[in-house]
Structure 1
Amino acid sequence: MTSSTRDIAGSFVAARQEARALPDFPGTIPADLATSYRIQDAAIELWPDRVVGWKIGKVPPHLVEALGEERVAGPVFAHNLWIANAGEEVAFPIFENGFAAVEAEYVFRIGVDAPANKTDWTRDEVAALIGAMHVGVETAGSPLATINDLGSTVVASDFGNNFGLILGPEVANWRAKLETGLSCETFIEGQSVGKGTANKDPLDALIFLASHLAKRGRPLKAGQYITTGAVTGVHDIRVGQHSRVSFNGAGDILCTAVKAVANGRRL
């Protein structure tokens, strides 16, 4: 690990802990995802919390060929996992003057540990790892407001642009429902900002993650929660704004963005 890698990881960790926006990327922007994940791994080691899951995001189509991947991953930490109860609004922190968004997600709970060195997976094989599927909302966030504009290597270097997961109800008979498609819609301040449908994408996303984490020496573990991709899109949100994500047949998740506090419990 180079000094630059440690410095970049340390800058992101300090900014997150202090709830402080970063004006620019804190170093040289990684040229490839391998470098980004070295920064991410260094930041995970610095972060004073345990990993309870992983988020999966898409690499923009124009970057796929150059980066050699269609998806990116980042950790979800225990203090940024919230349980959504019916009819109750979840307050989640965002970085003022940083990046913040809500993303409708179908979330797998891993039921058994994945083999440590297995890097090739089929849909049936990853499905066997799954204990349950839930609906959820990823609260995407970074101290760096331009994180998505700067590309996937920057996204991967800062925890995959993740700042939490709001976990909703379990989806019964999830595999059969995926075959026909699961739909949801996201609202901000009462206005619809996106609709989408998930079918085979969540399993394909899990195939990517199972292989990716095995190669990093961090295989999937029982009990981890995996967000499988933004079904309705990535929707910017500001302090004080309210969001509702409606999952057809699986209820609603209500949440509101609040200003992150330095060294707060959720940080």
Structure 2
Amino acid sequence: MSHHGGIARTFVDARQRDAVLRAYPGPMPQSLAEAYQIQAEAIAYAGRTVGGWKLGRIRWPEAGVFGAERLAGPIFSDAISFPESADPVAMQVLTGFAAVEAEILLRLSAPPPPDISVEDARDFVDQVHFGIEVASSPFVGINQNGPAVTVSDFGNNFGLVVGPLIPDAKVPGGLDRPVALAIDGVTIGEGLVADMLDGPFGSLAFLARLMAERGMSLEAGQWISSGAITGVHPVRHGQHVRATFGDEIAIECVTTPALLPEGAR
């Protein structure tokens, strides 16, 4: 087994057992290409259905070093929650690292071509929702060692809460509302979609190119979590999270310990 395969298996096994990794399980990837190779091996080893993809921002100067301003990771179908009421939904997080992010979610109506423009990417989306991405990893340093490390462990994704539909999201100005995120009743992040790097549809255009480069395919019905609007906010077990989009749209969750197989602890 290559060291890439060993890293991939260690991450997947640690996620399943909620083991805490205080050191990276092997040589850290030095490029995004190497990191995506580890990610691909981990997806294959996990054997779970991919129900979508998360995007994250790579800021300068790291964007110049790694040659990209975004990164991507899989969101597994069994980790996507669709709340049926306004009550907070329980979302599992790992012990090593956990955070939450308020995001715009895009549902694909068809796979976009790899050369799609930001404007034309809208035509491949049939629904736009507001939601919360749950970021969590066994590795306590997942967000402190550069974007390649983040990519290698599923882009630091552990779940997605699909919140209310934004009915006018594809018309000019439809996303021009303030976004806020609160933990345990305290607002800790605020932002605007307009401040995102070429917006949610820019995330989709980037992902279309990336997937083609990786020899992978997007699928109709998959969810695209387009990137944090108010920042990445660490959480612990048992915390209440509320994200709001304007004055009318809100989504809530409560973080819970990861459920482990019988006898895993």
User: TM exceeds 0.5?
Assistant: yes
Letter in 1 for 2:189: G
Letter in 2 for 1:215: E
Preserved contact between residue 164 and residue 250 of structure 2 (Cα < 8 Å): no
Shift of 1:250: 4.7
Shift of 1:113: 2.5
- 1:212 paired to 2:210: yes
**Pairwise mapping of residues 10-89 of structure 1 onto structure 2 (< 5 A)?**
10-89=9-88
Q: TM-score of the superposition, structure 2-length normalised?
A: 0.94
Aligned partner of 2:92 in structure 1 is: 93
CA deviation digits over 1:4-50, x for unaligned, max 9? 11000000010011111111110000010000000000000011310
3-state SS of the aligned residue for 1:194? strand
Consecutive unaligned residues of structure 1, counting only runs of 5 or more, are none
1:190–1:180 Cα change, 3 Å: closer
CA deviation digits over 1:57-94, x for unaligned, max 9? 01132201110000000000011000123421111111
Preserved contact between residue 186 and residue 244 of structure 1 (Cα < 8 Å): yes
CA deviation digits over 1:214-261, x for unaligned, max 9? 111222210000001100100000011111111115521111111112
Q: Which moved more, 1:32-41 or 1:83-92?
A: 83-92
1:250–1:108 Cα change, 3 Å: farther
1:245–1:61 Cα change, 3 Å: same
Preserved contact between residue 164 and residue 251 of structure 2 (Cα < 8 Å): no
3-state SS of the aligned residue for 1:176? coil
Q: What is the distance in 1 between the residues matched to 2:56 and 2:63?
A: 12
Identity of aligned residues (%): 37
Q: List structure 1 runs of 4+ shifted beyond 6 angstroms.
A: none
Q: Which moved more, 1:245-254 or 1:163-172?
A: 245-254
Q: Which moved more, 1:71-80 or 1:248-257?
A: 248-257
**Pairwise mapping of residues 164-175 of structure 1 onto structure 2 (< 5 A)?**
164-175=159-170
Q: What is the distance in 1 between the residues matched to 2:175 and 2:256?
A: 36
- 1:254 paired to 2:252: yes
3-state SS of the aligned residue for 1:65? helix
Consecutive unaligned residues of structure 2, counting only runs of 5 or more, are none
3-state SS of the aligned residue for 2:61? helix
3-state SS of the aligned residue for 1:222? coil
Q: What is the distance in 2 between the residues matched to 1:176 and 1:41?
A: 36
Q: Which moved more, 1:229-238 or 1:247-256?
A: 247-256
Preserved contact between residue 86 and residue 253 of structure 1 (Cα < 8 Å): no
Q: What is the distance in 2 between the residues matched to 1:138 and 1:58?
A: 14
Q: TM-score of the superposition, structure 1-length normalised?
A: 0.93
CA deviation digits over 1:136-162, x for unaligned, max 9? 100001001111001100000000000
Aligned partner of 1:149 in structure 2 is: 144
**Pairwise mapping of residues 110-259 of structure 1 onto structure 2 (< 5 A)?**
110-114=108-112, 118-176=113-171, 178=173, 181-199=176-194, 200-259=198-257
Q: What is the distance in 2 between the residues matched to 1:111 and 1:103?
A: 24
Q: What is the distance in 2 between the residues matched to 1:22 and 1:180?
A: 39
Shift of 1:201: 1.2
- 1:4 paired to 2:3: yes
Q: What is the distance in 2 between the residues matched to 1:6 and 1:78?
A: 23
Alignment length (residue pairs): 259
Q: Which moved more, 1:180-189 or 1:28-37?
A: 180-189
